[in-house]
Chain A
Amino acid sequence: MLHIVACIKQVPDTKIIKMNPKTNTMDRASAPAILNPYDAHAVEEAVRLKKKYGGIVSVLTMGPPPAVKAIKKCIELGADEGYMISDRAFAGADTLATSYALTKALEKIAKQRPIDLIICGKMTIDGDTGQVGPGIARRLNIPPLTGVKKVVEINKEKGYAIVHRKLEDGYEVVKSQLPCLFTVEKDINDISFAPLPNMIKAARYQPTIWTADDLEDVDRKQLGLKGSPTIVSKVWAPPKPEGGKILSGTKEQQVNELLSIVLEKKELFV
C-alpha cells in the first residue's frame, strides 16, 4: 500500500495582500490565510494516486497553531492524516531551516509508516522560492523531481515512478526510483469538489501536533532563525506599470487607432 505524504503550507492570500509602503513587508493581517494553491494541487494529486493505486495520504505542515485550518482543508480534499510541527523554536525559518525541520518530521512519520512518495507544491505564493521541496529530497537523499505536470505511473512493487516534467519548451518523461519527491505544477490536475463526508470529517479533524522536543535527533542550531543563513537585504514591491491609453470613439475608430499604434510600435510585438 502506497504511503504518500504531501508537504503543505498556510500562506496569506497574496492576490489581495497589501504591502506596507514604509517597511516594504507584507501586511499579513490584510489578507486571509489560505492553503498555498500549489500545495492544494499536491494534495489533490496524492489523493488521486491513492484512489488509483490504494494507500494512505498524510499531510505535513510547519506553522503556528492557526495553520490547523490548512490541514483541515487537505482533509476536505481527501487526505487521511495530518501532522503539524509547531513550536517557537521553528519561528523565523528560511528554506534551509524549514526543510531541516520538515525532514525531521518526515523521518518520524516514516518510522510509523514508511513513506513511498513525497509531493510538494512547486513553490509557495508568499516566498516564491521553490527551495523547500528539493531541500527535503536532498536531506532524505531521495531524487527530487521538480515541475511535475503529469504522473504516468507509480509502481511500488518494482519501485519506480514515471512522470512528465515541465520544461521551457515542452516536457520530459522521467523514470525515477521510489521513494522520491515531486514538486508539482498547477496544471497537473483540477481540484475536485470535495464530497460532504470529507467536509464533515475535516470539521471534526484534529491533526497530530509535534513540538521540537517531539522530533528525534534534532540539532537545535539548525532550527528557526538560528538555522537560517538567508539575509533579506531589501524587499520591494514591483512598481505598477505606468502609461497605457484608453481608446475612445466608435468601434471602427478604435480598431483603426489600435491598428495604427500596433504598426507604429511593431518592434514591441515581435
Chain B
Amino acid sequence: MPEKFDCIVVGAGPAGTACAYELAKAGVNVLLLERGEYPGAKNVMGGVLYRKMMEDIIPEFYKEAPLERPIVEQRFMMMDKESAVTFSYKGLEWGREPYNNFTVLRAKFDQWFAEKAVEQGALLVCETVAVECIVENGRVVGVRTDRPDGDIYADVVVLADGVNSLLAKQLGFHREWRPDEVALATMEILKLDKNIIEDRFNLEPNQGCTIEIFGDATKGIVGTGFLYTNKDTLSIGVGTLLSGLIKHKMKPYELLEYVKNHPMIRPYIQGSEPVEYLAHLIPEGGYHSIPKVAGNGVLVVGDAAQLVNAIHREGSNMAMTSGRLAAETIIMAKAQNDFSESMLDQYRMKLMESFIGQDLKKYKDATHHFERFPQYFEQYIPMMNRAASQMFTVDGTSKWEKQQKIWRDLGSTKQKFKLARDMMKAWKVMK
C-alpha cells in the first residue's frame, strides 16, 4: 500500500516551497516533489526577489539567504536606436535593513529556501516528475510520478508545477495557454569583475541596480529587456509575448543578441563572459487568464495559476504569497477534515482579497492593450526620444521654436488627437 501524506506539493519553486514550509511549520505531513536535480535547477527569473513577501514566511531571511545585491536604484530606459530617455530612482534607504528587494540567482536561492522547508519537517524528493493527478470519485487523491511504484496519496495536492502546469491542464482547470498569455524570456548570466560592476553602475559594495529597458530592446514588440547587477555577474535578458515573436517572426535569442549589442547597452557589459544561458515561459495573461485555482482535494499556486504582474515584473513574490495562502487554507481544511472544493475555495477568496488579486485586477487589460496597439512601443518611445534630443540639443534655436518643432513632430491634428486618446487609454488600463 503506497504511503499517504497529508499534503503533496508538486514543484519546489517559490510557490511550492513557501506552501510546504508553512505546512511543515504547522505540523502538517507534507511531501515536496521536484523534477530537477535540486530545487532551482530548472527555475528561471530575471532575478528580483521582493523582501516583504519572503519575510512574511521567514523573518530576516536576508541575514542568511544566498542573495546577490540589495537593489538601491531602479532605472527605466525608454530606448530608441541610438538614444534613450531614462528615469531612475535611487534611494539609500533601500540599501539598509529591512531593504526593499534583492537580485538573486535562482539556482542558489531556491535550493536554500527548500532546505529551510526541510528543516521545518517537509520531505523533499527531487528528480521525480509528477505526471498526473490521481483522481477518484471526482476528487484528487494523489499524484502519479514517473518512478517505478510511483503512486503517492494525500488529502490534498498543491500544484506548483509552473507556467505550463500540465497537472492543472489535465484536470481541465485551464486550456493550453494562448501565445498572448505567455511571454518567452531568454537571459544570460555574464561574469564580470565585482569592482567593474560597481564602477559601471555607480554602486558601493553590496548595492545593486536594476535597469528595465523598453522600446528598441524588444524592437517594438510588447515586452521588456532587463539588466540586473549580481555580486560578480550581470543578468541580462529580454522577455516578450510569444504572440509578438510569432507575429514579427523573431527568434528569442536574436532579440537577446540584439540587446547585448545595442549601443546603449553594450558599454555596460563590455568585457564580460557568458557563464549561463537560460530561457523560460512566463505567464503574463494576467487577471483574465487566472484559471480555476481550487478543486476537490487540489489547489493551484504561483505561475501555474498565472500569478504574475507583468507591468511591475513581480512574480516570485506573488508565488510565495499564494503558497502561503494555500497553506493557510489547507491547515484550516485539515482542522475540519474537509478537503472539498467548497472548503478549499477559500484560498481563491484569500488570493483575490490580497495584493495579488488587487494588483492583477488593476492591470487586467494593460498587457493586452499594449499588445493590441503596438504604437506605444513602436512610435511613441522613439517620439519621446526625438523630443528629448530636440529640447536638450543647444544649437542656437530658441526654446520656443524647439517646442514648436516637437509639437510638429507629433504629426497632424488628427494624429495628435489619436496620441492624446492613446495616452488616455494607457492611463485607463494602468490606473
Interface residues of A (CB under 8 A from B): 193-197, 199-200, 203-204
Contacts and interface: CB of A to CB of B under 8 A. Distances in A.
B265 to A, nearest CB: 29
B31 A193 contact: no
A239 to B, nearest CB: 22
B149 A203 contact: no
B124 interface: yes
Interface in B134-182: 145, 147-152
Contact of A195 (B3, B31, B147): B147
B3 A197 contact: yes
Q: Which 5 A-B pairs have the closest CB atoms?
A: A195-B148, A195-B149, A196-B147, A196-B150, A199-B125
A200 B31 contact: yes
A140 B164 CA distance: 56
16 contacts: A194-B147, A194-B148, A195-B147, A195-B148, A196-B2, A196-B125, A196-B147, A197-B2, A197-B149, A199-B127, A199-B128, A199-B147, A200-B3, A200-B31, A200-B125, A203-B124
B54 to A, nearest CB: 24
B147 A193 contact: yes
Per DSSP, are chain A's interface residues mostly helix, strand or loop, or mixed? Answer: helix
Nearest to B149: A195
B123 interface: yes
B147 A203 contact: no
A193 B3 CA distance: 19
A68 to B, nearest CB: 12
Contacts of A204: 123
Contacts of B149: 195-197
A194 B152 CA distance: 15
B123 A196 contact: no
Q: Size class of B's contact patch?
A: 10 to 19
Contact of A203 (B123, B150, B151, B152): B123
A199 B125 CA distance: 6
Given A196-B152, A199-B125, A200-B125, 17 more contacts: A193-B148, A194-B147, A194-B148, A196-B2, A196-B125, A196-B128, A196-B145, A196-B147, A196-B149, A196-B151, A197-B2, A197-B149, A199-B128, A200-B3, A200-B31, A203-B124, A203-B125
Contacts of B31: 200
Contacts of B145: 196
Q: Could you say which of A197, A199, A203 has the most chain B C-beta atoms within 10 Å of its C-beta?
A: A199
A12 to B, nearest CB: 15
A204 B123 CA distance: 7
Contacts of B3: 197, 200
A200 B147 contact: no
Nearest to B122: A203
A199 B8 CA distance: 14
Interface in B1-29: 2-3
Contacts of B128: 196, 199
A204 B32 CA distance: 12
Nearest to B5: A200
A199 B149 CA distance: 11
Contacts of A200: 3, 31, 123, 125, 152
Contacts of A195: 147-150
Interface in B102-125: 123-125
Nearest to B146: A193
A204 B31 CA distance: 11
Interface in B204-257: none
Contacts of A196: 2, 125, 128, 145, 147-152
Contacts of A193: 147-148
A193 B145 CA distance: 12
A246 to B, nearest CB: 22
A197 B145 CA distance: 11
A197 B4 CA distance: 11
B127 to A, nearest CB: 8
Nearest to B3: A200
B290 to A, nearest CB: 32
A193 B147 CA distance: 7
A203 B124 CA distance: 6
Contacts of B148: 193-196
Contacts of B125: 196, 199-200, 203
B260 to A, nearest CB: 25
B16 to A, nearest CB: 15
A195 B127 CA distance: 11
A195 B125 CA distance: 12
Interface string B362-382: 000000000000000000000
A197 B128 CA distance: 12
A67 to B, nearest CB: 16
B20 to A, nearest CB: 12
Contacts of A197: 2-3, 149
A163 B40 CA distance: 43
A202 to B, nearest CB: 8
Q: Which among A193, A194, A203, A204 has the greatest number of chain B C-beta atoms within 10 A?
A: A203
